[in-house]
Amino acid sequence: MRAWVVVENGKPLQQIELPTPEPTGTQVLLEVTHCGVCHSDLHIWEGFYDLGGGKRMSLKDRGVVLPLAMGHEIVGRVAKLGPEARGVKVGDLRIVYPWVGCGTCAACTGEQDNMCLTPRSIGVYQNGGYGSHVVAPHPRHLVDPGTIDPAVAATYACSGITVYSAIRKIMPIAAGEAVVVVGAGGLGMNAIAVLKALGHGNIVVVDVSAEKRAAAMQAGATKTVDGTGEGVTQRILDACGGPVLAVVDLVNGTATARFAFDALRKGGKLVQVGLFGGDLTVPLPLMAIRALTIQGSYVGTPADLRELVALAQSGKLSALPVATVPQAQANDALMRLRDGRITGRVVLRSDVA
Ligand SMILES: [Zn+2]
Ligand SMILES: [Zn+2]
């Protein structure tokens, strides 16, 4: 098999040949047709997360081993089944749920794979979709995209379920109540689409880029707010008609966390999703007096992926702006994402797509 791999952190991806894996047990080998390029790939490529105050979390220390084919937003065609794999057949097109764990603990056997304490996420801890082939540990990690465009379906495996799972954490909320979405990149576009599909009618989107704010309006945002510089909290309050009950921060950096937290009203909830990095100082009495909640949200479950795909199949979820590029241009796509030159999502398309 061919793969475009991280050999050294921060250096260009290299094309290499690897032995094609032989599926064992319940494993399923798939030929990759599509793979989304996700912002978190940039962190894996760089090799660390910024924890604020000059502290970094090294991904090598977390068990990421190089060389690695990144890519966790995968659609592929079943190529070979392990002797114990059931429920799919060769040639089936499937979305791969990538947030797999040990496969044996209570989280994994309870369909909460993303909460496993020994993650084996595809494209992070084992080779992913920046290659010609990928191995799914079990058929239950495969979801039929049905009639959904496979390039769009691929993005459901990370940006889709990440947003879906985060939005479920602010529900139930009245349809006319303002929901603030911070960040109008790939995740932000997904958030607007999911909120609309769930019948929500008041979506206020914050972003520093005028171009991305315009894209958010086109995608169905009610209002947008310029996230640049000082006074962002006030601009959010103005747009929402006062302090808000729910903010989903898809950037989650020092600046966004600050203005998002400061915009909350009594009983409000800030759901932190992004991995931009930094830290947040919280005034503790306000947490109690205002009964505030700050909750982290990390990707989603296999059930989240199945529900999201069903929502898309129902026709309620509008298709997102997705651009496809040949898989061999993985490095170029990653660099464009790093430089902020991508609106929506870029998806690698293989020769067999
Ligand atoms: Zn991702
Ligand atoms: Zn586990």
Q: What is the mean pLDDT of each successive set of 10 residues along the chain, which is 353 residues long?
A: 97 97 98 94 89 84 92 98 98 98 97 95 97 98 97 94 96 96 90 95 97 94 97 98 98 97 98 91 96 96 96 90 93 93 86 90
Give me ligand 2 centre to Cα 112, in Å.
Answer: 8
Burial 227-265 (b: 16+ CB within 10 A, else e): beeeebbebbbebbeebbbbbbbbbbbebbbbbbbbbbe
Helix %, strand %, coil % of the chain (to 5): 30, 25, 40
∠ CA 293-309-108, nearest 5°, is 65
Distance (angstroms) between ligand 2 centre and the Cα of 103 equals 5
| Ligand 2 center–CA 346 separation, angstroms | 31
Structure tokens that stand for 167 in this block: 């939005």
Closest CA to 156 of 142, 136, 139: 142
**Calpha distance 163→160 (Å, rounded):** 5
Question: Residue 65, class by beta-carbon neighbours within 10 Å (0-12 exposed, 13-18 middle, 19+ buried)?
Answer: exposed
Span from the CA of 131 to the centroid of ligand 1 (angstroms): 16
Supply the pLDDT for residue 96. Answer: 98
**CA-to-CA separations, 222 to 78, 280, 307, in angstroms, rounded:** 41, 28, 25
Extract the runs of DSSP E, i.e. beta strands, from 217-344.
Answer: 223-226, 244-249, 264-272, 293-296, 322-326
What pLDDT is attached to residue 223?
A: 98
Identify residue 222 by its one-letter amino acid code. Answer: T
49 C-alpha to center of ligand 1: Å?
14
Distance linking the first and last C-alpha atoms of the chain: 16
Are the CB atoms for 37 and 347 separated by under 8 Å?
A: yes
- What is the reported pLDDT for 40? 86
Q: How far is the CA of 26 from the centre of ligand 1 (A)?
A: 25
pTM of the model: 0.89
Ligand 1 centroid to Cα of residue 284, in Å, is 32
Ligand 1 centroid to residue 46 C-alpha, Å:
15
Cα of 203 from ligand 2 centre, angstroms: 36
125 CA to centre of ligand 2 in angstroms: 14
Assigned token pair, 351: 């020769």
Cα of 119 vs centre of ligand 2, distance in Å, is 7
165 Cα: distance to centroid of ligand 2 (angstroms): 19
Mark 283-303 as b/e (b = at least 16 C-beta within 10 Å). Answer: eeeeeeeeebebeebebbbbe
pLDDT of residue 343: 67
Q: Ligand 1 mean position to 30 CA, how many Å? A: 19
User: How far is 37 from 123, CA to CA, in rounded Å?
Assistant: 11
**Ligand in nearest proximity to the CA of 102:** 2
Pull the structure tokens for residue 333.
Answer: 């796509």
Q: Which ligand is nearest to the CA of 117?
A: 2
Q: Which two tokens stand for residue 183?
A: 């960040």
Residue 158 Cα to ligand 2 middle (Å): 19
Q: How far is the CA of 255 from the centre of ligand 1 (A)?
A: 22
What is the CA(293)–ligand 2 centre distance, in A?
A: 27
Strands 179-182 and 203-207: parallel
Q: What's the chain's length in residues?
A: 353
Detail the DSSP E strand segments found in 53-119. Answer: 55-58, 73-81, 93-96
Alpha carbon of 37 to ligand 1 centroid (Å): 8
The ligand with the least distance to the CA atom of 120 is 2
Q: Please report the beta strands in the chain, taking only residues with DSSP state E, as ranges in sequence order.
A: 2-5, 14-17, 28-37, 48-52, 55-58, 73-81, 93-96, 133-136, 142-143, 179-182, 203-207, 223-226, 244-249, 264-272, 293-296, 322-326, 345-349
Q: How far is the CA of 158 from the centre of ligand 1 (A)?
A: 5
Ion ligand 1: residues, Cβ under 5 Å: 38, 40, 158
Q: Report the relative pairing of strands 14-17 and 93-96 from DSSP bridges.
A: unpaired
97 CA to middle of ligand 2, Å? 14
